[in-house]
A = this chain, B = another copy of it.
Amino acid sequence: MSRDTVSNGIANANSKSVRFVDVQAAANRIRSYVHRTPVLTCEAINKRVGCNIFFKCENFQKSGAFKFRGAINSVAQLSEADLASGVVTHSSGNHAGALSLAARIFGTKAHIVMPSSSSEIKKAAVREYGGVITECEPTLAARMSEAARIQNETGAVLIPPFDHAHVIAGQGTAALELIEQVPELDMIVAPIGGGGLMSGTCLAARELKPSLRIVGAEPTGADDAFQSKQAGKFVPQLSPDTVADGLRTSLGQLTWPFIRDEVDEILLADDLATVSAMKFFWERTKVIIEPSCAVPLAAIIKRFSEPTFKDSSLERAENIGIIISGGNVDLQALPWSN
């Protein structure tokens, strides 16, 4: 990867610059670094929803989230010279830990710009994987300018959290595996934050099983993808307000075309439903998921109980795959303990 092709959100990227062959190549490239995560089912959940749900457990992925797929796929394509300079990103979420771990595996340095307001537990995760934290003011402008400064001073390569061809291709390997593991799927659901996971999911699903219904899920408090699809044009996420901390960002230039053209439907869930679904999932499966990946489950539970459900295409879905995006939760501050 040359530094010029790395988008920082303003590059003139072409939506067709990521293709299914890139997902396939990513799968081969990262196979020895990632876990082929298991698919979990739960009778109590199936009974509640009335169909079979297959959870692709990326919370069991290295670094605790699917983000490691995109990060390692990006770092694995860096040149020797790039690896000597290190990588940089600005993130307060799972991409920060994932990139730190990917960098350590390839023996390079990860500079992570984090807002000073980031929780200690998130900083600790980055440090544990060997990432070097630079704190900045908690604004997007401050994060971007600090990352740019580090790029200039160190020559580090920017690996953005989602709007990047190598990242999207890496994220697509989760859906690729899920469709291999559960060929009988007739619907696949992923949460939408910046849209990297959803874009990769579209690439894998459209190619491997064109009949598959592709559904996104968003919090009502950060429904920019839903709004964008409704408007037929990119709508930024201005004031996100949701417990699903991984889904607060706007779509990117590379990801928006996938959402626009390939996603069949976007379902919404409010935070009350999301927290309830998250707790229900913990109780019944004994598996820890973070709020962001409870959004698809909450949205599916809600949709299946609505009066208009009978007329919807969801009615015909018998086997639904949901990508459980991550399991990194601050156990000292669970959303239901307040």
Interface presence of A201 (CB below 8 A): no
Q: Which of B38, B59, B279, B285 contacts A331 (CB 8 A)?
A: B279
Query: Once bound together, how far apart are the Cα atoms of A38 and B282, in whole Å?
Result: 18
User: Which residue of B59, B286, B327, B337 contacts A337 across the interface (Cβ within 8 Å)?
Assistant: B337
A287 proximal to B (CB < 8 A): yes
| Between-chain CB contacts (< 8 Å), 23 pairs | A38-B38, A59-B286, A60-B285, A60-B286, A64-B286, A279-B331, A282-B288, A282-B331, A283-B331, A286-B287, A286-B288, A286-B289, A286-B327, A287-B287, A287-B288, A288-B288, A331-B334, A331-B336, A332-B336, A332-B337, A334-B334, A334-B337, A337-B337
Size of A's binding interface in residues, CB under 8 A? 18
* Cα–Cα distance between A60 and B157 once the two chains are bound (Å): 43
Known: A64-B286, A287-B288, A288-B288. 15 other contacts (CB 8 A): A38-B38, A59-B286, A60-B285, A60-B286, A279-B331, A282-B288, A282-B331, A283-B331, A286-B287, A286-B288, A286-B289, A286-B327, A331-B334, A331-B336, A332-B336
CB distance from A194 to the nearest CB of B (A): 23
CB-CB nearest 3 A-B residue pairs: A286-B327, A286-B288, A59-B286
**Shortest beta-carbon distance from A130 to chain B in Å:** 14
Max chain B Cβ within 10 angstroms of own Cβ: one of A279, A286, A331, A336:
A286
303-328 of chain A: CB within 8 A of chain B: 327
Interface of A is mostly: loop
Give chain B residues whose Cβ lies under 8 Å from the Cβ of A332: 336-337
Q: Looking across the interface, which residue of chain B has its beta carbon closest to that of A57?
A: B286
- From 52 to 87 in chain A, residues with beta carbon under 8 angstroms from any chain B beta carbon are 59-60, 64
Chain B nearest CB, measured from A259 CB (Å): 28
Bound-state CA distance A242–B158 (Å) is: 50
Closest-by-CB residue of B relative to A324 is B286
In the complex, what distance in Å separates the CA atom of A286 from the CA atom of B334?
14
In the complex the two chains form, what is the Cα distance from A285 to B287 in whole Å? 9
Q: Which residues of B contact A288 (CB under 8 A)?
A: 282, 286-288
Q: Nearest residue in B to A38 (C-beta to C-beta)?
A: B38
A60 contacts which chain B residues (CB < 8 A)? 285-286
Q: How far is the CB of A274 from chain B (nearest CB, A)?
A: 15
A286 to B325, CA, bound (A): 12
Inter-chain contacts of A38 with B (CB < 8 A): 38
Q: Closest residue of chain B to A43, judged by CB?
A: B62
Contact mask for chain A residues 31-67; partner B; CB cutoff 8 A; 1 contact, 0 none: 0000000100000000000000000000110001000
Tell me how far the C-beta of A86 lies from the nearest C-beta in chain B, rounded to whole angstroms. Answer: 24
Which single residue of chain B is at the shortest CB-CB distance from A64?
B286
List residues 269-299 of chain A with CB under 8 A from any CB of chain B: 279, 282-283, 285-289
> How far is it, in angstroms, between the C-alpha of A327 and the C-alpha of B288 when the chains are bound?
11
Q: In the complex, which residue of chain B has the Cβ closest to the Cβ of A121?
A: B283
Min CB distance, A133 to chain B, in Å? 19
The interface residues of chain B lying within 8 Å CB-to-CB of A331 are 279, 282-283, 334, 336
Q: How many Å from the CB of A248 to the closest CB on chain B?
A: 22
Taking CB as reference atom, which chain B residue is nearest A65?
A: B286
